[in-house]
Amino acid sequence: MQNNIYMIDVQGLEKFYGTVRVLDNVNLSVEKGEKIVLCGPSGSGKSTLIRCISGLEARSKGKIRVAGHDLETDCRNIGDYRGEVGMVFQQFNLFPHLNVLQNVMMAPRLVRNQEKATVRERSMALLERVHIANRADYYPEQLSGGQQQRVAIARALCMQPKVMLFDEPTSALDPEMVQEVLDVMIALAKSGMTMIVVTHEMGFARTVADRVIFMDKGQIVEGGTPDTFFDYPENDRTKEFLRKIQHS
C-alpha cells in the first residue's frame, strides 16, 4: 500500500467481447476520498469499466489495484476484496426472500464472521443514515424503487468498504425518487468515501465530483473538475454529448 498512493489504480485496461474492443487502454487513478463521476453515451463502456474494477468482469489486459488488492486478470481472487469494494447496481439487486435488515446483515455475518449484535447495531445505524430504519422488517417487494436503492447502499456500506462504485443508481427510478437516493449519496460523499459514480445527473456531478470523466467508444476522452468539464469542454465528442443530455 505504501508505494501506491491511489485507492483505485487502473493501468492499460483492455477488454474484448469476442472481437469487439469495449475498453481501450483505460487509465484511471483515484486518490483516497476522491469522487469521480463517469459519464458518456450508452454503450461507451462505463458499466464494463466499473464491473472490471469491482471484480465482476474478467479483462483482457491491464492492471487493476483497489484498496491495496491486485486483482488478477480473470478476477479469480475477487474474494480478496472481501466486500471492501462496495457496488450499487442500477437494478438494486436486493435479495427478495430476506427483509431489509437481513439483507444488510447477511454479508458481514457470513464473510467477516462478525458478532450478530455488533452487525445488527451497525446495520440499524446505517438504515437510519439512509432514512429507512422504520422499514427494517419490510421485504424488498414492499418497498419503492428509491427505498430499495437506499437499502442496497446500506447493504454495501455494512461491509465497511473503502471504495463505493455506483452504476447508474438512479436510472431505474421514477423521477420523484431520484433525489432521495442522490441525497444519501451526497451525504456519503461528504463523509469522505472514495467513489466512482456512473450517472448523468449533472447536478449531482457539480455538487459532489472532484473530477468528471467522459468516456466514448471504450476510451476515456477527457476529464476535469465539474466546472471546467461542463463549461469548457475541449473535445467535440464531449461537447456533442453535453448538448444532448442538457436538452433531454
Ligand X SMILES: Nc1ncnc2c1ncn2[C@@H]1O[C@H](COP(=O)(O)OP(=O)(O)O)[C@@H](O)[C@H]1O
Contacts with another protein by CB under 8 A lie at 54-56, 78-79, 81-87, 89, 91, 93-97, 106-107, 110-112, 137-139, 141-142, 152, 155-156, 159
Distance CA 27, CA 47 (A): 15
Residue closer to ligand X (CB basis): 48 or 238: 48
Q: Number of residues interacting with ligand X: please give it, by CB under 6 A.
A: 10
- Phi then psi dihedrals of residue 79, to 5 deg: -60, -25
Using rule CB under 6 A, residue 22 touches ligand X: yes
Q: Number of residues interacting with Mg ion: please give it, by CB under 5 A.
A: 1
Stretch that binds ligand X, among 35-43, 79-87, 203-211, 226-234 (CB under 6 A): 35-43
Stretch that binds ligand X, among 4-12, 42-50, 149-157, 185-193 (CB under 6 A): 42-50
Closest by alpha carbon to 7, among 186, 230, 210? 210
Q: Tell me how far CA of residue 56 lies from CA of 72, 73, 154, 198, 202, in angstroms.
A: 11, 11, 20, 16, 27
Binding mask 33-52 for Mg ion (x = CB under 5 A): --------------x-----
Please check whether residue 137 is in contact with residue 99, taking contact to mean a CB–CB distance below 8 angstroms. Answer: yes
User: Which of Mg ion, another protein, ligand X, none sits in contact with 22, Cβ below 5 to 8 A by type?
Assistant: ligand X
Report DSSP state, residue 112: S
Residue 48 CA, chain-centre distance (Å), reads 12
Q: Least distance to ligand X from the beta carbon of 168, Å?
A: 7
